[in-house]
Amino acid sequence: MNEIYSEEELKNLPFMNESLELEKRVEDLLSRLTLAEKFKLCAGRMMWHTKPIKRLGIKSFTMYDGPHGVRPDTMGEKRSTYFPVAICRAATWDLMLSYEFGKAIAEETRELGAHMLLAPGINIQRTPMNGRTFEYQTEDPYLNKHLAIATVKGVQSQRIAACVKHFACNNQETNRFTESSEVDERTLQEIYLPAFKATVQKADAWSFMTCYNKVNGIYGSENYNLLRKRLMDEWGFRGFAVSDWNATAYTNTGGCVRAGLSLEMPTAKKYSKSELTKAFENGEFTLEDLDENIRRLLRVMFLVGLFDDQSKLPKGCRNTPEHQQLARKIAEDGIVLLKNEGDLLPLDINKVNKLAVIGPNANFRLGEADIWSGGGSSQNFPPYEISPLDGLKHKCKNKVEIIEDPSLADITIIFAGLNHNNGMDAEGEDKKELGLPSEQVNLIKNAIQKNANTIVVLISGSPVAMDDWIEQVPSVVEAWYGGMEAGTALANVLFGDVNPSGKLTMTFPKKLSDSPAHNSERSYPGGDKVFYDEGIFVGYRHFDTNGIDPLFPFGYGLSYTTFAYNNLTINKKKINADDTIKVSVDITNTGDRVGKEIVQLYVNDIESSVERPQKELKGFKKVELKPDQTETIVFELNKDDFSYYNPVENSWVVEKGWFKILVGSSSRTIHLEGEIEFS
């Protein structure tokens, strides 16, 4: 068992044979590990690595942050492409862009010598106050699922492991290390777990990261129900579970091993040699438990090519023109035009003489911040970064004069919003308030008095309240944190080189008390426990069902052109459990510019024996149309799209009766509707 192999002997061992079946390689290597070596593989070292086993030629398995650009260090010594944040990428509603993003960031991960990317983050956006809202994709489980599948597939196309996080119900930063998310089974099944499940069953995700918080009283890293029962046994996950960094702090060694936690990061605490030995000798876990955890880790080591000829693996690359172009494309397509009265936008570069550019975020650059003022694990150090002001200066060069006084300008652009300081959009702490800082509100009000032609551009990663200024401002743009090419993307949209097509993936409330998680202290921020009292009524499901008008609804976003919806056709009037139905609709660009529309399909159970939302997203398509061009969009639906989870029967159920099919340009703008009967 403790045989020492020469380099030549190692090469000839079965697990080194690349032509041998994966599971045989895994079992051969597992059989050669001593108990001490297995213990050694259970915990990390030096922040980002597993411990090597030199006797068997097992190199360190390396994993890096983060979700918006690879960051191997905290000093910015190795720089990489800074892509737009997840909420911006999600706002494109473009699955191919999510795939291409995953592929590109994996190429950068491989070029830096790592094997796993600690992304994507796919927690549901339950509250606009969550400090990490910008890192996540959406409030809707259907959209979340499809974006996550595309991203994971993109990452793993390069034989880099995606690490899907944070499993599960990590929906706030307040008390994140100790609170218990108290969630009923139906809500877990319908809202918080679908995207995680889909990354396993539709994208074969190779790793999951456990959450800091408890779920129904048990910490994520030792949650047998979540990890072993659901993730592994029910969903068929073949990868390994890794703790969030120091997420094992309050857990039990034996509990973590039995639950299926393969790897404790960043260093050994519960998985130290002494703790593992003591727990093993006390019978807190079996050798079979341990072997299964190690087997999963080894499997992913083989999947990423740790033991293979490196020349045969996908080639890594970093900071390429292609990656920079992709970052700009995501930023452009993710920008959401929220308001445009009087068609102030797009700006005509031949008609604007003086442009006033003001506001605290005009020179926003994430790369200049340190790791914590950069948002935490999302921090990135790009080789360059184009601020909004940089982008406008380049666009306007020799054509438009950029000044600072609104009273002297034809148009004023105010770059307002948030940043990654604590209490705003940042890991470790939730937002302190929903509105903009008072000095920004005053800046907007003063500017509008001096110049009626004022545009507010929000650089932010989460909803902000606008009630005290939006009525006075003709045009508002949500630009998010747009990555290293943000300034160029913004200038292209503001001046009409790019027609905005982004749509919100999270409801913007008028006031915080309108949001579903904010009915009481027990539902947010909670204390030892946070009760998800709103159940399945998260996001637009809550606003629609309770008749609350949002500031801007889920799925909303304007364009510089217009679209007409016609000819809704459903190929069957009555369906049963085995049927697939086709829903088609004609979309016409009725304006004078090329534009993209995101067509959304929602389903409504007209009469149900249980509470169900007024509508649920069950399809979306993004289409680009020239002026006067019409395209027929076709959606396919099956029984899953009409189902709800019945916790009594422990299964998904479709009730007989009539359902509405709703097609529109947002959750609140439904253009066409039809009905079908489920028999």
CATH superfamily membership of 321-545: Glycoside hydrolase family 3 C-terminal domain (3.40.50.1700)
CB 116 within 8 A of CB 62: yes
Q: What is the arrangement of strands in the sheet containing 529-531, beginning at the earlier edge strand?
A: 218-219, 214-215, 180-182, 529-531
621: buried, middle or exposed (CB in 10 Å: 19+, 13-18, 0-12)? middle
Q: In this structure, what token pair is assigned to residue 474?
A: 């003709």
pLDDT tens, position by position, 201-240:
999 999 999 999 999 999 999 999 999 999 999 999 999 9
Highest mean pLDDT among 68-72, 75-79, 324-328, 381-385: 324-328
Instruction: Report the pLDDT averaged over residues 416-433.
Output: 94
365 backbone dihedrals φ, ψ, rounded to 5°: -140, 115
Numbered ranges of CATH 2.60.40.10 in the chain: 563-678
**Mean of pLDDT over the chain:** 96
CB 481 within 8 A of CB 134: yes
Instruction: Return d(Cα 493, Cα 4) in angstroms, integer.
Output: 63
425 is catalytic: no
- pLDDT of 422 strictly over 70: yes
Instruction: Report the pLDDT averaged over residues 595-623.
Output: 97
pLDDT tens, position by position, 155-185:
999 999 999 999 999 999 999 999 999 999 9
> What CATH class has 7-312?
alpha beta
pLDDT tens, position by position, 534-558:
999 999 999 999 999 999 999 999 9
Give the containing element (helix H, strand E) for 339.
strand 336-340
- pLDDT of 80 strictly over 70: yes
Q: How far is CA 215 from CA 152, 210, 265, 416, 589, in A?
A: 24, 11, 20, 37, 47
Instruction: Return d(Cα 226, Cα 208) in angstroms, integer.
Output: 11
Neighbour count for residue 299 (Cβ, 10 Å)? 21
- State pTM to two decimals: 0.97
| Per-residue confidence (pLDDT) for residue 375, from 0 to 100 | 76
| Per-residue confidence (pLDDT) for residue 338, from 0 to 100 | 98
Q: CATH number for the 563-678 domain, one of 2.40.50.140, 2.60.40.10, 3.40.50.11540, 1.10.10.10?
A: 2.60.40.10
562: buried, middle or exposed (CB in 10 Å: 19+, 13-18, 0-12)? middle
DSSP line for 153-166: HHHHTTT-EEEEEE
Instruction: Report the pLDDT averaged over residues 92-110.
Output: 98
Eight-state DSSP code of residue 613: -
pLDDT tens, position by position, 353-399:
999 999 999 998 876 666 555 678 888 999 999 999 999 999 999 99
Numbered ranges of CATH 3.20.20.300 in the chain: 7-312
Integer-rounded Cα Rg, in Å, for the chain is 26
Numbered ranges of CATH 3.40.50.1700 in the chain: 321-545
Instruction: Return d(Cα 590, Cα 507) in angstroms, integer.
Output: 27
Catalytic residue among 140, 244, 333, 641: 244
Q: Tell me which residue has tokens 């990354």.
A: 199
Instruction: Report the pLDDT averaged over residues 31-41.
Output: 98
Terminal Cα-to-Cα distance of the chain (whole angstroms): 63
Instruction: Return d(Cα 269, Cα 326) in angstroms, integer.
Output: 40
